Amino acid sequence: MDNTRPATNALEKGPAPGGLRQSKFALFCKRHKFIVIPIAIMILLLPLLGLLALRTHHAHGMNYTSPVVYPSPQGYGAGNWSAAYERAAAVVANMSLEEMNNVTLGVIDGSNGCVGVSGSAPRYGYPGLCLHDAGNGVRNTDGVNGYASGLHIGASWNATLAYERAQFMGAEFRRKGVNVALGPVVGPIGRIAEGGRNWEAFGADPYLDGILGAQSVIGLQESVIASVKHFVAYEQETNRNPISTNSDTILSTSANLDDQTMHELYLWPFQDLIYAGAGCVMCSYNRVNSTYACENSKSINGLLKGELNFQGFVVSDWVGQHSGIPSADAGLDLAMPTSTYWSERQLEQAVNTGAMNMTRLVDMATRILATFYQFGQDEALPLGVGMPPNLLLPHNYTDAKDAASRPNLLQQAIEGHVLVKNINGALPLSKPKVISIFGNDAIVQTAFNPDGQLFPQSWDFVGLGLPQAMNIASNTPVQDPPQVKNGTLVVGGGSGSNTPAYINSPYDSIQARAYDDDTALFFDFTSTTPNVVASSDASIVIINEYASEVWDRPGLADARSDQLVTNVASACNNTIVVIHNAGIRLVDAWIENPNVTAVLYAHLPGQDAGRALVQILYGDVSPSGRLPYTVAKQASDYGDLLGPCQNAKNSLSPQCDFGEGPNVDYRSFLARNVTPRFAFGEGLTYSSFDYSDLQVSVNATATANDTISAPVYANGTMNGNRNNANIGVGGLQSLFEIAGTVEATLTNAGTVAAAEVAQLYLQIPTTYSNSSNKVTRVLRGFQKVMVQPNTTARVSFNLRTKDLSSWDVVRQAWVVPSGEFEVFIGKSVLNTPLSGSFVT
Ligand code: BGC
């Protein structure tokens, strides 16, 4: 029916009140149409501009609310999930509501060492799941390897290594009876330099996290289900959990961010990991735009299950569930380690009373069981079989280690070392006559003979006394992290900590090499003012920088270690500094001292720390790591992104505005025009590389001005994705199509074989930046290649459509902006010898 007709007719029927004014107005309009029409268009557009302004200024304060997105999209067996869904649906169809309710929450088991066990459905042969930490190896048990940490693998820039590491790690989880490995970590991404958990993820860039995280998912899931965490925008430990006082509760901090920042930064790596097939996602402790992440319908229903079409299940971080039916409706599928909200059959009752839709409960149970079948967990060992609840009591020893993992563990350890200074030919060492070694990190802990708490994540063990433990409980930084007691730092603290059967320290391996070379060794592992034997060819100072879950770091360098370096350097003109660092470590106190001749960031190498270090120090291999974060000249150079948001006004609702938008780490330095000490991507080798012959073949078409409507995701429908052929697991499949390639030639111009990490950065045209934050260059490719001296290697980077896209908040779609894309290839974000461009 044409609704406009009667109105038109009515107007035609003689003058209405005000009719004369109307006709004068019409006359005026006719005469001045060149002025009137543009004004009218502007008036019509005003609401839209207002909307845009709201979205843009969202990041700069005021009112942060997370939109609601209901109902929760149902999993339906997209892509290769169909068989698993069929099996799960057949089982769930016969389940009672009570049984369905039971599989959606953790149960206190106590018969094994799993950090969580979920409810079972014995009638159907479903035993529940053993969920266990974490992304750097099996935690808190015996008979397992200590892998290099996420940040160390990030520093390796080696996707194949990440995949193989995860394969070995996944097999260990499976041998221990774990079904869900609680990793890898791609959030926190590293928004703040002092973040306590930055070392668990791969680096402060979404592309790097996405590529290495996806490979980790694929490797792990050959044996177990990977639980990708922490979803989403979980960037600080301070105020991560609610704190109850006598009368009030201080809520978790709210990460306040706009839609573009969400897509281009925090959601970005999750999409790659979902596309890689991740079976589980852990929602985080923080609030996102005022709503807890585990009951945030926008992020779970809207982004994860809608836009990314995630088919697995969402598990809460431990005690991260803060509501009953709202969390279920928002998309939470499994509450761990148990639930006060669901454990009294509340979901069953809610369905019976109509307070909750039954399809949601069916979907929860189906997602969990489908994931169980999808990854062959119906053929797994009994839950937690290799992990006794108490390691200190006699138990059957399950050796989960595979001898075949050894070369890979060593390779991991080697490749995450980043050499940032090397003058006067300090490294590699060549049969030195005398070496002096200093620093508490050179040796393992003086005792590893537990009588209570076994592993480093225990506060007792790392030397945190009661006052500090109280600080931990109130989420404030620990003022005096336990640098000394750790000895050689091979992993950070908390649930991401792993528990190697042995640790090889730097001193162990240097000593073995000293025997081969007939080198005299002097050492002092305790003093900060040691004697330095004058005849030393080199002094090696080995220090560390600790970080842990639960607290953010009080600073980016510890004065005691800095003092040691300065003191040794004042007595030795060939002082080599090695830092085992669980995050960014500043070096301003001594880096310009000419007696400090070499500096290695040794990160967190896992159990083979010493063996790997010696191979690099002595030039058996050239260092091949690159920084996965930016090292500033001084702490203040990080600006607002130095430390966590504090709850300054002691409010009950702490806020953290992500006003920088997507510009964290190197993007922040570029946007603010601050020169770092060491740039993102930087790292030296024992050789030198020339770059040449850039070839850019990208044939992408701009979609920024397309008039066709944006892809319709399942937002607000239960199964809208099912009928959309363009959407598969991971979301819009065309985002992953190759839009072009960029190639370059590397020449090893030095005298030794070395691996170079060629990096591709894009400067995307600003057409579709919705935020007021500057658009900077971004990492969009990397490739690590071993090149023999005087030979060349051709590197080739595939650019996916995703890599060329910006998020358009109005159309709610990824668009390829139109304009000139600048292409940079080089050794770091700031050192790019080749540049070119393409136009869309
Ligand atoms: C951590 C998670 C971890 C879980 C289980 C939480 O405190 O945030 O990363 O997987 O505990 O240990």
Measured from the CB, is residue 317 less than 6 Å from ligand 1?
Answer: yes
Give the CA distances from residue 125 to residues 109, 151, 779, in Å, rounded to whole numbers and listed in that order. 18, 39, 47
User: Residue 199 in contact with residue 150, Cβ under 8 Å?
Assistant: yes
CB neighbourhood size of 722 (10 A): 16
Question: Would you state the structure tokens that stand for residue 307, as one six-digit string?
Answer: 């836009």
Average pLDDT of the residues in 722-741:
93
Reading phi first (left if > 0) and then psi (alpha if -120 to 50, else beta), residue 201 is in: beta
Contact 634, 588 (CB under 8 A): yes
Confidence of residue 18 (pLDDT cuts 50, 70, 90): very low
Reported as a single tens digit per residue, the pLDDT across 511-556 is 999 999 999 999 999 999 999 999 999 999 999 998 888 889 989 9
Per-residue pLDDT, 772: 82
Q: What is the pLDDT of residues 479-517, one digit of tens each?
A: 666 655 668 999 888 889 887 878 899 999 999 999 999
Q: Is the pLDDT of residue 140 over 90?
A: no
Give the pLDDT of residue 639: 98
Q: Decide whether any atom of ligand 1 lies within 6 Å of the 229 Cβ.
A: yes
Whole-number pLDDT of residue 468 = 43
Q: Is the pLDDT of residue 450 over 90?
A: no
Per-residue pLDDT, averaged over 551-580, amounts to 96
Q: Is the pLDDT of residue 61 over 60?
A: no
Number of Cα atoms under 13 Å in the Cβ half of residue 485 = 17
What are the backbone dihedrals phi and psi of residue 420, each rounded to the nearest 5 degrees, phi first?
Answer: -115, -15
3-state SS assignment for residue 53: helix
Is the pLDDT at 198 greater than 50, yes or no?
yes
Query: Cα separation of 267 and 300, whole Å?
Result: 11
Q: Are 631 and 683 in contact (CB under 8 A)?
A: no
Tokens read off for 612: 């790997």
**pLDDT tens for each residue of 82-93:** 999 999 999 999
pLDDT in tens, 771-823: 788 999 999 999 999 999 999 999 999 999 999 999 988 888 899 999 999 99
Query: How, if at all, do strands 820-826 and 834-839 pair?
Result: antiparallel
Question: Which residue owns the Cα nearest ligand 1 atom 9?
Answer: 495
pLDDT of the residue at 48: 36
Helix (H/G/I), strand (E/B), else coil: 515:
helix
Ligand 1 center to 318 CA (angstroms)? 6
* Residue 318 beta carbon below 6 angstroms from any ligand 1 atom: yes
Ligand 1 atom index nearest CA of 134: 10
| pLDDT at position 200 over 50 | yes
- Residue closest via CA to ligand 1's atom 8 equals 317
Span 327-355, pLDDT tens digits: 999 999 999 999 999 999 999 999 999 99
Give the mean pLDDT of 114-122: 97
Compute the distance between CA of residue 524 and CA of residue 25 in angstroms, rounded to an integer: 93
pLDDT of residue 480: 63
Mutate which of 133, 283, 286 for ligand 1? The one with the most ligand atoms within 8 Å of its CB, which is 133
Exactly one of 205, 209, 317, 441 is catalytic; name it. 317
Q: Hey, which of 182, 292, 294 would you mutate to test ligand 1's pocket, going by the most ligand atoms within 8 Å of its Cβ?
A: 182
* CA of 162 relative to ligand 1 center, distance in Å: 22
811 Cα–ligand 1 center, Å = 36
Centre of ligand 1 from the C-alpha of residue 125, in Å: 28
Provide the mean pLDDT of the chain: 88
Atom of ligand 1 nearest to the CA of 131: 5
Residue 117 predicted with pLDDT over 90: yes
What average pLDDT does the segment 163-180 reach? 98
708-726, pLDDT tens digit by residue? 555 555 555 667 888 888 8
Let me know if 317 is a catalytic residue: yes
**280 Cβ closer than 6 Å to some ligand 1 atom:** no
Distance CA 506, CA 431 (A): 17
Q: Is the CB of 240 under 6 A from ligand 1?
A: no
pLDDT confidence of residue 8 = 27
**Residue 228, SS3 per DSSP:** strand
Task: Please state the rounded mean pLDDT for residues 635-654.
Answer: 93
What percent of the chain is modeled with pLDDT above 70? 86
Residue 14: pLDDT band with limits 50, 70, 90: very low
Chain centroid to CA 211: 11
Distance 134 CA to ligand 1 centre (A): 8
pLDDT of residue 382: 97
The verdict on the CB of residue 81 being under 6 Å from ligand 1 is no
Say whether pTM exceeds 0.85: yes
787 near 723, Cβ under 8 Å?
A: no
The continuous run of DSSP H or E covering 502 comes out as none
Q: What is the pLDDT of residue 236?
A: 96
Q: Does residue 175 have its Cβ closer than 6 Å to ligand 1?
A: no
CA distances from 708 to 255, 278, 752, 784 (A): 33, 31, 55, 40
Contact of 598 with 422, CB cutoff 8 Å: yes
Q: How far apart are the CA of 458 and the centre of ligand 1, in A?
A: 14
Main-chain dihedrals φ then ψ at residue 496, nearest 5 degrees:
-85, 0
